Amino acid sequence: MNGTTAIVTGAGQGFGLALTAALATRGTRVVACSRDADRLLTATSGLPDVVALPGDITDPEFRAELVSTAWRLDLLVHNAGELGPSPLPTLRHFPLDALRGVLETTVLAPLALTQLALPLLRSSTAGTVITLSSDAAVEAYPGWGGYGAAKAALDQLSAVLAVEEPSLRVYAFDPGDMRTAMHQRAFPGEDISDRPDPTTVVPALLRLLDRRPESGRYRAADLMDDGQPTHGAPGAPDGHAGSTA
């Protein structure tokens, strides 16, 4: 990835921060964004060639600023997401305004940002779009209806984009369970220390980027071994829903 430029959303903590650090170490210029300005600036301080750009990806003006700041683009990572209410409500009681917020952050904003970034991605020799998926997109877990529906929609957008933009690589990447703030919000009061640290999952995504297989949905669990990556399938769930923030 040396000499390339990436945009990573939701980069102030968790998987987004771990990925930003790993990409920067490999020589990638990273435009990193997060809604929490103080956290983003503190977390990325000292990382080589990282441009910290605080802002909300649901804001059209900020999305335009992201793309103009990148000015060239090889990799777009849609890591930012919204869990919804905590504790997780059943669909019977899911507040519709909250669901609108989940869909706005997890589905509509990534599509809008991709639309703006497509000209830059097409001009790259290795244009790649990554959307962060979850097993909640393919498995039915009580309480995960809002988040799961949003991730399922994002998976479909990714799949269709891959067909419509054959010159790009478009990957829906399911990281599996991780020890993140979002995952903790999904299980308030529970001990989630047994979940993997996001830094241990990043190598799976880097392997995907290095190998550049055909576009599709891939699971971190299938990229951790020494074999070739295989398309992720609904298959066996990894316990709960993968967390992206």
| Rounded CA separation 89/19 (Å) | 30
Sign of CA dihedral 208, 121, 55, 146: negative
- The 3-state DSSP class for residue 79 equals coil
**How far is Cα of residue 193 from the mean position of the Cα atoms in its chain?**
22
Contact assessment for residue 81 and residue 94, using Cβ atoms and an 8 Å cutoff: no
For 9, phi then psi, to 5°, come to -90, 155
Residues annotated as part of the active site: 147
Q: How far is residue 81 from each of residues 34, 65, 68, 106, 126, measured CA to CA in Å?
A: 11, 19, 22, 5, 25
DSSP 162-194: HHH-TTSEEEEEE--S---HHHHHHSTTS--TT
Contact assessment for residue 6 and residue 28, using Cβ atoms and an 8 Å cutoff: yes
For 216, phi then psi, to 5°, come to 160, -170
